[in-house]
């Protein structure tokens, strides 16, 4: 069983729990009764991060996205040595795991100082052992006293979900402790993730008989997938409507183009038994094709085929532009999924434009765990595109994701991107 399916299966709408700690104890006594420590759901084992993912999904009232789960699990392609270096420094926000995901990506929590910690707060910590190695753990605080806390979660030392058999000091020179507290009323208000996705929890919808209605406030134009997310069972018959387009495959959803910022109605109706609806998901989607493949030894990644993940970066369909632009937020990024017929090494080029005086941002192209970094060149105008060779990527056969993003924005905007090309090298 995949974790995404497991998390999705237990999202049964219910009254808002008094605390994530109550939610965790309820899950431990129900869904995960008898489970031990490990990371294989088929064997009824669950580790610290997996249990926190389930608790968080239950609290926010929706499934977590792959990006959110990756952030919580601190899966960033780092080597073991890089993990040790980043844990020791403690300055990279990504090393704070669930704290980074909840505050910076999902925007559903606030950071907490150790002196203000209380039961129900989430914690990700890194601690140095006697051998000088750093190890991490994710959990909830269950008791706090005199700068120390007992933890509730899945622990190796207790071989399962329980209160920890130790107390954690919340500060010290040999540790980095990251504490966060969920915002209140998450199931009753819209959730906006840093990656541009929006969630309309069932609790904020207006119900009339067998129909829910939401007001969807869009702040960035573009193409999105709108779909319903359910609990343990699907309705026999349902209909999802947005922008006067409807679909009866509500869990698959439909693609909708929002031409400008504004408020848009979304309705969900059903027939038969009461629908176990959790939320309506509004997820960034490519305006062109989402199924790209190598053609004649080349992969062409046009900006219109990208899925834009972020707050302001977007595809600009104006015939004079036809590019990714408005890159004022350096955390925004764009992705393409493509397929290779066979393994090989590819030369990578990007068509990049940048307005006068705005050059100097540092950016990257990432695929197959390999990163090509470069400095954005001033081309005199954002739509004055210049082809930049970036280097090579060695990729296996099959599906790949390529991401273009920014490390550091120098001035008002990072750059505009028209196209990225991967050309197979001769054997």
Percentage helix, strand, coil for the chain under 3-state DSSP, each rounded to 5: 20, 45, 35
- 276 band by pLDDT with thresholds 50, 70 and 90: confident
What was the pLDDT predicted at 388? Answer: 97
Count the neighbouring beta carbons within 10 Å of the beta carbon of residue 86: 18
Query: Region 151-175: what's the mean pLDDT?
Result: 96
Cross-strand pairs, 158 = none
Count the neighbouring beta carbons within 10 Å of the beta carbon of residue 356: 11
CA distances from residue 333 to 88, 202, 216, 395, 414 in whole angstroms, order as listed? 28, 29, 23, 21, 11
Cross-strand pairs, 134 = 128
For residue 202, report the phi and psi dihedrals to the nearest 5 degrees. -60, -30
Could you say which DSSP state residue 119 is in? T
What was the pLDDT predicted at 95? Answer: 97
What kind and span of H or E run contains 5?
A: helix 3-9
- In the chain, the domains with their CATH numbers are 3-182 (no CATH), 190-284 (2.60.120.260), 292-424 (2.60.120.260)
What was the pLDDT predicted at 322? Answer: 95
Quote the pTM value: 0.80
What was the pLDDT predicted at 235? Answer: 82
What was the pLDDT predicted at 244? Answer: 93
Among candidate residues 205, 228, 203, 210, the one with its CA nearest the CA of residue 272: 210
Q: Which residue has the higher pLDDT, 266 or 61?
A: 266
* pLDDT per position as a tens digit, 320-369: 999 999 999 999 999 999 999 999 999 999 999 999 999 999 999 999 98
What was the pLDDT predicted at 10? Answer: 42
- 13 band by pLDDT with thresholds 50, 70 and 90: very low
What was the pLDDT predicted at 4? Answer: 43
Asked if 264 and 291 touch (Cβ cutoff 8 Å), the reply is no
What was the pLDDT predicted at 426? Answer: 85
* pLDDT per position as a tens digit, 204-262: 999 999 999 999 999 999 999 999 988 777 788 899 999 999 999 898 899 999 999 99
> Rounded to 10 degrees, what is the CA torsion of 63, 67, 73, 75?
160
CA distances from residue 120 to 25, 54, 169, 204, 214 in whole angstroms, order as listed? 11, 15, 16, 24, 30
The residue whose two tokens read 């190598």 is: 294
Percent of the chain residues past pLDDT 70, beyond the cut: 96
Cross-strand pairs, 394 = 345
What was the pLDDT predicted at 271? Answer: 86
What was the pLDDT predicted at 9? Answer: 39
What was the pLDDT predicted at 423? Answer: 97
Percent of the chain residues past pLDDT 90, beyond the cut: 81
Tokens encoding 110: 């606030």
Average pLDDT, the chain: 92
* pLDDT per position as a tens digit, 107-135: 999 999 999 999 999 999 999 999 999 99
């Amino acid at each position: 069983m995949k974790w995404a399916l497991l998390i999705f299966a237990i999202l049964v709408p219910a009254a808002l729990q008094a605390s994530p700690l109550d939610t965790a104890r309820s899950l431990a006594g129900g869904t995960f009764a008898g489970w031990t420590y490990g990371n294989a759901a088929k064997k009824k084992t669950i580790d610290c991060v997996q249990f926190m993912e389930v608790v968080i999904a239950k609290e926010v009232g929706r499934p977590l996205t792959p990006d959110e789960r990756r952030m919580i699990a601190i899966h960033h392609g780092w080597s073991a040595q890089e993990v040790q270096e980043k844990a020791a420094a403690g300055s990279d926000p990504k090393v704070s795991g669930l704290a980074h995901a909840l505050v910076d990506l999902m925007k559903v929590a606030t950071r907490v100082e150790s002196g203000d910690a209380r039961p129900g707060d989430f914690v990700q910590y890194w601690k140095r052992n006697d051998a000088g190695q750093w190890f991490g753990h994710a959990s909830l605080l269950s008791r706090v006293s005199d700068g120390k806390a007992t933890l509730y979660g899945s622990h190796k030392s207790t071989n399962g979900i329980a209160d920890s058999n130790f107390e954690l000091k919340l500060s010290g020179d040999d540790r980095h402790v990251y504490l966060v507290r969920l915002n209140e009323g998450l199931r009753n208000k819209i959730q906006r993730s840093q990656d541009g996705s929006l969630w309309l929890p069932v609790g904020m919808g207006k119900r009339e008989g067998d129909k829910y209605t939401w007001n969807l406030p869009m702040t960035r134009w573009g193409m999105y997938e709108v779909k319903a997310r359910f609990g343990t069972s699907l309705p026999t018959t349902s209909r999802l409507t947005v922008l006067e387009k409807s679909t009866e495959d509500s869990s698959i959803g439909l693609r909708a183009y929002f031409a400008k910022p504004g408020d848009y109605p979304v309705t969900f109706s059903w027939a038969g038994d009461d629908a176990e609806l959790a939320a309506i998901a509004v997820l960034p989607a490519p305006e062109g094709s989402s199924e790209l493949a190598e053609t004649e030894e080349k992969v062409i990644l046009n900006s219109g085929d990208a899925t834009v993940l972020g707050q302001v970066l977007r595809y600009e369909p104006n015939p004079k532009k036809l590019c990714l632009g408005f890159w004022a937020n350096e955390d925004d990024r764009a992705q393409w999924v493509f397929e290779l017929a066979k393994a090989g090494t590819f030369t990578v080029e990007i068509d990049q434009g940048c307005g006068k005086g705005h050059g100097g941002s540092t950016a990257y192209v990432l695929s197959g765990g390999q990163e090509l970094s470069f400095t954005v060149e001033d081309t005199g105008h954002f739509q004055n595109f210049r082809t930049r060779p970036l280097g090579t990527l060695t990729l296996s056969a099959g599906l790949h994701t390529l991401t273009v993003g920014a490390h550091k924005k120098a001035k008002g905007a990072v750059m505009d991107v028209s196209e990225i090309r991967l050309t197979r090298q001769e054997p």
